[in-house]
Amino acid sequence: MQIPVGTPLIHPVHGPTVLVDVTTRTIGGVDEEYAVLEHTEQDLVLQLPVATLDEHELREAMNEHEAADVLDILDAPAEGQSLTWRKMRSRNQNKITSGEPQDIAMVVRDLNAKNERKGLSPSERTMLRKARARLVAELDLALDGKAEERVEELLAFEDEDEAAAVT
């Protein structure tokens, strides 16, 4: 995997990062190249061996067209919530863990709709807050830092107390 320094990448667990350097480290007398990734939202630096970079399932950040598709998902009607709480939680957790922005957008949209209808449990509120933060962080890369306002417009928070409860 040949990636230029400065490329935004999405780590499946940690979210949005930027490749800031490729450095050589000597471990056990063997020189090995490492990709140095800085997280865009947290004080976190990852160093991954270049030889095994493909195994880490890094992907390039979405472009403007893909971001528009994600925003369309947020704007679409919520999917039916006919599953039991446990199955819905498991499904949502699997979608978030996938790291795919389209899946995360579905979780944010559906939990937001449920919150407007009847409120969320504490664990669902936490899930919504984390999923929303992860989605906004990646959208920010494609929308030049304007993702937060676009997401708020689409989800149409009714009052500031509700918006504060999920951010």
CB 135 within 8 A of CB 108: yes
Cα–Cα dist 67/85, whole Å: 29
CB 20 within 8 A of CB 36: yes
pLDDT in tens, 116-154: 888 899 999 999 999 998 888 888 888 877 777 778 777
Residue 12 DSSP one-character state: T
pLDDT score, position 1 = 58
* The model's pTM: 0.77
Question: Which of 118, 115, 128 shows the shortest CA–CA distance to 89?
Answer: 128
CA distances for 97 relative to 7, 93, 101, 148, angstroms:
23, 6, 10, 21
CATH code for position 155 = 1.20.58.1290
Kindly state whether residues 51 and 70 are assigned to the same domain: no
Confidence label for 80 from pLDDT (cuts 50, 70 and 90): low
Please say if the pLDDT value at position 7 is more than 50.
Answer: yes
Kindly state whether residues 110 and 152 are assigned to the same domain: yes
Kindly state whether residues 91 and 53 are assigned to the same domain: no
Cα–Cα dist 56/79, whole Å: 31
Residue 22 lies in a domain: yes
Domain range for residue 22? 8-60
- The more confident residue out of 159 and 147 is 147
